[in-house]
Amino acid sequence: MSRKLAAEFFGTFWLVFGGCGSAVLAAGFPQLGIGFVGVSFAFGLTVLTMAYAVGGISGGHFNPAVSLGLAIADRFDWKEIIPYWIVQVIGGLAAAATLYAIASGAPNFAAGGFASNGYGELSPGKYSLASAFIAEVVLTAAFLIIILGSTSRAAQAGFAPLAIGLGLTLIHLVSIPVTNTSVNPARSTAVVLFAQTGATSQLWLFWVAPLVGAAVGALIYKLLLAPGDSPGLIGREPGRTT
């Protein structure tokens, strides 16, 4: 179990450091800024690379919503959810603290939103609470369907990290203007503690909506898309995880 938790810690650390780091350090850099398209690919690449690196150890969740969805789909042991959630949040916080230490070394540094998520005035496009909730639920549900489908016995072996990484990239391309994209409570919790925009008051949404979306996606896949699909792939059979 300790190896699984260590893998989840490092995987979530890399997701937050690489994805949010691209937003904080590189997205708006004068002349060379990567923009929101670059940030979208950065998040996808973090999951893709760590899924290959440590997915065979822990299942490569790096996200409390993913852990919940996999448990609902009978792909993950319920008794491991809380330990996974704890190390995912701690890994994200460690990454955000490291990122803050780097970013604060720049002249005239101001944390601002610090890649945090939000709705209303804290939404990049000023989208409403209802829009943010719908987006996070739908996109997290789709993310779970991608994960469950690409790691099923019917899927081509070895390509799951590519599908999942590109899926997360697409999710960001769609929803950065809406919520700055969460679909991951650990990612949202990590950076909100360093933001200067009052985003902590909206953090509840970025736990509730992704968890609801994960449950919806898992149930859709389990009940409609995978009749006869054998459970136990993620977190139980290291050779066929993300």
Domain ranges of the chain: 2-105+112-236
Q: What is the mean pLDDT of residues 55-73?
A: 96
How is residue 240 annotated by DSSP?
A: G
Q: What is the pLDDT of residue 157?
A: 77
Cα–Cα distance between 46 and 33 in angstroms, integer? Answer: 19
Please indicate whether residue 175 or residue 26 has the higher confidence score (pLDDT). 175
Q: Residue 43 pLDDT more than 70?
A: yes
2-105+112-236 under CATH 1.10.1040.10, yes or no: no
Q: What is the pLDDT of residue 225?
A: 84
CA separation (Å) from 55 to 28, 69, 152, 161, 206?
32, 16, 15, 9, 24
